[in-house]
């Protein structure tokens, strides 16, 4: 009875505690950003999830994809993408892959100069300059003619690579570390999830 009385008196505080503990578990073991989800971890870490993607055309060419959301919810909603970045669950990543597969990708030039990024990565970009010279943005077109005019293309497979970005005081580096990958095909199934 005493427990019921305490529960009656402090129900909301118990709810806050339960949600915060659940958030703590998810942020430590399931990729949820500590800043979000009701655990009061704002301003506690610089760690953030990072989602990158490479698309593959039917001819076998690979293209670098810039994942951006849209206010108009076409093809990727800002809200959906924001939620996914803070808590990248497999179902959400699969949905993201399918949204990109079902949209056109518009190319734009990508310019990375020496000094913008670490020298090892810069050399890799230079070595693979055809791949890194353009970045493709998912875009909605009402018809394929308009897409063709923009040189937009479609892909049949996408690999989403997950990273964790963090600031390292030693060396003052903002660095990304690989976590895992997810492959999504046009016939709407995942073939495999790569381990780190």
Instruction: Give me the residues that bind another protein (CB under 8 A), please.
Output: 9-13, 15-17, 19-20, 24, 27-28, 32-47, 50, 52-54, 64-67, 79, 82-83, 86-87, 110, 112, 116-118, 120-121, 124-125, 132, 135, 161, 163, 165, 167-169, 171-178
16: how many CB neighbours lie within 10 A of its CB? 13
Q: Which is nearer to another protein, 85 or 185 (CB)?
A: 85
If the CB atoms of residues 19 and 150 are measured against another protein, the closer one turns out to be 19
Q: The tokens of 85 are what?
A: 């970045």
Query: For residue 110, what are the contacts with CB-CB under 8 A and spacing of at least 6?
Result: 64, 132, 133, 134, 135
Q: Closest by alpha carbon to 81, among 94, 66, 92, 65?
A: 92
| Three-state DSSP class for residue 166 | strand
Q: Which of residues 19 and 94 has its CB atom nearest to another protein in the complex?
A: 19
CB of 102 to another protein, least distance (A): 21
Nearer to another protein, 54 or 155 (CB): 54
The least distance separating another protein from the CB of residue 84, rounded to whole angstroms, comes to 8
State both tokens at 58.
């039917």
């Amino acid at each position: 009875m005493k427990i019921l009385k305490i529960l009656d008196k402090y129900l909301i505080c118990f709810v806050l505690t339960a949600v915060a503990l659940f958030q703590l578990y998810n942020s430590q073991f399931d990729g949820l950003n500590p800043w979000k989800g009701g655990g009061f971890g704002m301003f506690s870490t610089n760690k953030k999830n990072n989602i990158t993607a490479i698309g593959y055309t039917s001819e076998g060419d690979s293209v670098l994809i810039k994942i951006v959301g849209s206010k108009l919810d076409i093809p990727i909603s800002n809200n959906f993408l924001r939620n996914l970045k803070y808590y990248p669950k497999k179902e959400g990543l699969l949905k993201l892959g399918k949204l990109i597969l079902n949209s056109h990708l518009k190319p734009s030039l990508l310019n990375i100069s020496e000094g913008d990024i670490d020298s090892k990565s810069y050399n890799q970009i230079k070595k693979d300059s055809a791949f890194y010279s353009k970045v493709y943005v998912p875009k909605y077109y009402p018809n394929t003619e308009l897409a063709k005019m923009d040189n937009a293309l479609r892909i049949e497979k996408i690999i989403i690579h997950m990273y964790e970005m963090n600031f390292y005081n030693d060396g003052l580096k903002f660095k990304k570390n690989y976590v895992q990958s997810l492959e999504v095909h046009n016939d709407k199934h995942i073939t495999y999830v790569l381990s780190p």
